[in-house]
A and B are shown apart, each in its own frame.
Chain A
Amino acid sequence: DAGVIQSPRHEVTEMGQEVTLRCKPISGHDYLFWYRQTMMRGLELLIYFNNNVPIDDSGMPEDRFSAKMPNASFSTLKIQPSEPRDSAVYFCASSPRQGVGTEAFFGQGTRLTVV
């Protein structure tokens, strides 16, 4: 398996535009996580899914952020409208099972810059 695949690797967009980040988890993994990494807040959990169902979205900063997982092999994180303070590296991770080991595998991340 190629691991968790995120796209794009880099995104530069203007304030007010819609941004969509994509993630393909490792096949067979039950859990999918979206994180945001910034200097100020470190690695923040935004939302996670279990078997395509959102379990906890309490980390989503505001209504401008939304995430979907239409099937087991694809998830999106959307920001609409984007703001400069959304600039960060966004990571997607997947995990094969609950609790045991908790070895989450991370993608390479999407570096988002909103100007």
Chain B
Amino acid sequence: GESVGLHLPTLSVQEGDNSIINCAYSNSASDYFIWYKQESGKGPQFIIDIRSNMDKRQGQRVTVLLNKTVKHLSLQIAATQPGDSAVYFCAETLEDGKLTFGKGITLSVRP
């Protein structure tokens, strides 16, 4: 049968450092851009979102940046902690509510 495990690009950071996870999107009509975190054995969990008419939004320890000119989205995590180790997905939603996900990146935090 088909393997279910994820084989994704990995970003390795030292505990306490800042992490930057990048994502490119293709649909200019997207209404919202969202970052999700997926821990092993669990479903994706919402982190932060940004509306298409904004370029920056800050949350607790996280910041999302949107550059519509180059269709680029990034997630910055300040003072990365071991609990931040997970797979991170960027996602986008259209005005009709359709929610689609990018490929995902694995964040590994070194103690």
Contacts and interface: CB of A to CB of B under 8 A. Distances in A.
A45 B99 contact: yes
Interface in B49-105: 49, 89, 91, 93, 95-104
Given A111-B4, A115-B1, A42 B104 contact: yes
Contacts of A95: 97, 99
A101 B32 CA distance: 8
Interface stretch (A31-39, A60-68, A71-79): A31-39
A109 interface: yes
A108 interface: yes
A21 to B, nearest CB: 14
A26 interface: no
A94 to B, nearest CB: 11
A40 B32 CA distance: 26
B44 A106 contact: yes
A109 B91 CA distance: 18
A107 interface: yes
Interface of B: 1-7, 31-32, 34, 41-46, 49, 89, 91, 93, 95-104
